[in-house]
Structure 1
Amino acid sequence: MDFSLLTAETPLELINQTTQNSLLGSLGIEFTKIEPRTIEGTMELSEKNCRPDGLLHGGANLALAETLAGLGSMLLVDFKSYDVRGIQVTGSHTGSLKKGKALGVAKIIHEGNQTHVWNVDITNEEGRLISTARVTNMIVKRND
């Protein structure tokens, strides 16, 4: 899939299929809902994204957060002319996940010409917050 053609109308199945041979596939990240300023996704707990004791790794939470916010920013810019690069991710882990899926919801809180800032809340399947993250993306003009 040519990501310069990506829009909010691109089928989720196509986006998820395209990302399976990347970090997203390795961690079990899938997009579940795309709206212009809100992106949702899940990450199934597996041995590839957990700590040795079986708990979801905090770094995997941050990868989920940056992934959701990154796609959100890609949908808000002319991706043929501009690139999106994550420049800062911070998170607070408020709970743990020992089984099931992590559910992430990314909402944009600042949409500037050069930066986008997203808030991403990650919960367990019962809705209990396990992590909250702030993601800043830089919007840069393509030189190619």
Structure 2
Amino acid sequence: MKPTKDQVLKQANAACKNTLMETLQIEIVDYTEDSLVARMPVNSRVYQPDGVLHGGATAALAESVGSFASHIFLDTNAFFVRGIEITANHLKSVTSGYVYAKASFIHKGRTTQLIDIRVTDDDDNLISICKLSTITLPKK
């Protein structure tokens, strides 16, 4: 029997225990056949000294959701995924609420993947645009 969406999300979030994702309170909230969405609260844990969302925290959110997307769409019994390059263009500041990162595949190859990650706020304003390259390697 195929697991429900809620079961998959619960299992995915359980895999984030004792990781950077847990430290930053990143939670996977939705997925489709071609995308994955995670959210992160904007609070003092992820602020720059002047009280706005740190670009490094945004990049960590983007890499987490992009790598996780590659991970769940591949056979993880035979392969593992690693990020090999990330770029981030930060367009707007955020001081509270949540930011949401939606990872969508541009290229889903056997060995390399290119993922577009759009980071938005609670009002769906575009905060950052990120691109992540991942590589899939066989487990030995």
Q: Secondary structure at the match of 1:66?
A: helix
- 1:49–1:57 CA contact under 8 A, matched in 2: yes
Which stretch shows the higher mean deviation, 126-135 or 72-81? 72-81
Tell me the TM-score normalised to structure 2 length. 0.91
Q: Deviations for 1:18-70, whole angstroms, at most 9, x for unmatched residues? A: 31321011111100002232000100012221111110100111111111111
Shift of residue 14, structure 1, vs aligned partner:
2.9
2:36 — aligned with what?
39
- 2:80–2:137 CA contact under 8 A, matched in 1: yes
Amino acid across the alignment from 1:80: N
1:115 is the counterpart of 2:96: no
- 2:43–2:95 CA contact under 8 A, matched in 1: no
Q: Secondary structure at the match of 1:11?
A: helix
Q: Secondary structure at the match of 2:76?
A: coil
1:61-76 to structure 2, matched below 5 A, reads 61-76=58-73
Q: What is the Cα-based RMSD across aligned positions, in Å?
A: 1.6
Shift of residue 99, structure 1, vs aligned partner:
0.8
Number of equivalences: 137
Give aligned-pair identity as a percent: 28
Shift of residue 8, structure 1, vs aligned partner:
8.5
- Matched residues in 2 for 1:132 and 1:8: separation? 30
Q: What runs of 5+ residues in structure 2 fail to find an aligned partner? A: none
1:102 is the counterpart of 2:99: yes
1:56 is the counterpart of 2:23: no
Q: Secondary structure at the match of 1:48?
A: helix
Amino acid across the alignment from 2:121: N
Q: What runs of 5+ residues in structure 1 fail to find an aligned partner? A: 1-6
* Runs of 4+ displaced beyond 3 Å: 7-10
- Matched residues in 1 for 2:45 and 2:12: separation? 21
